[in-house]
């Protein structure tokens, strides 16, 4: 485990104990690419992982928690809100375990396909683009 690759685990340590618990905070930068243009990770990410040796495989389960800003598909505002994602993966027990891709996928899966800042978001006026949650405009 080095500072640059905090979610990479050597198998030697795991072989001795059979299980390994990781809890730490990682910088969001390596995970931002999964977000697409309408979403943004806005805080470091808390990662908790339990690795368990099972024959020639390693089970990796855990939680990923952070904060993101998702663009409302009606009004285009980006309110920040906490998110929580689950990791549940199996790795071959060879070399090392690199859980970064699993964390990336967990975040991608947790992202809603369409996001609304609130269920009754009024959206933007088609004519003047005013955010109608903030008040009416003169267009019907």
Residues near Zn ion (CB under 5 A) are: 72, 74-75, 117, 121, 125, 127-128, 130, 137, 139
**At closest approach, how far in Å is the CB of 23 from Zn ion?**
35
Query: Which residue, 95 or 119, has its beta carbon nearer to Zn ion?
Result: 119
Q: How far is the CB of 124 from Zn ion (least distance, A)?
A: 8
Query: 7: number of CA atoms within 13 Å, CB side?
Result: 25
Helix (H, G, I), strand (E, B) or coil at 91: strand
- In the complex, minimum distance from the CB of residue 71 to Zn ion, in angstroms, rounded to a whole number: 9
Q: Judge whether 9 and 16 are in contact, CB under 8 Å.
A: no
- Name which of 60 and 72 has its Cβ closer to Zn ion: 72
Q: DSSP code of 94?
A: S
Closest to Zn ion by CB, 95 vs 135, is: 135
Q: What are the φ and ψ backbone dihedral angles of 105, each rounded to 5 degrees?
A: -65, -40
């Amino acid at each position: 485990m080095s500072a640059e690759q905090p979610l990479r685990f050597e198998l030697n340590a795991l072989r001795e104990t059979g299980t390994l618990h990781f809890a730490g905070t990682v910088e969001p930068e390596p995970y931002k690419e999964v977000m697409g243009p309408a979403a943004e990770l806005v805080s470091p990410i808390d990662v908790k992982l339990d690795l368990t040796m099972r024959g020639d495989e390693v089970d990796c389960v855990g939680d990923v928690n952070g904060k993101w800003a998702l663009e409302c598909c009606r009004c285009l505002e980006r309110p920040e809100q906490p998110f929580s994602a689950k990791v549940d993966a199996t790795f071959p027990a060879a070399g090392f375990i690199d859980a970064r891709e699993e964390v990336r996928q967990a975040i991608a899966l947790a992202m809603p396909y369409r996001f609304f800042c609130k269920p009754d978001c009024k959206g933007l006026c088609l004519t003047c683009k005013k955010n109608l949650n903030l008040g009416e405009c003169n267009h019907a």
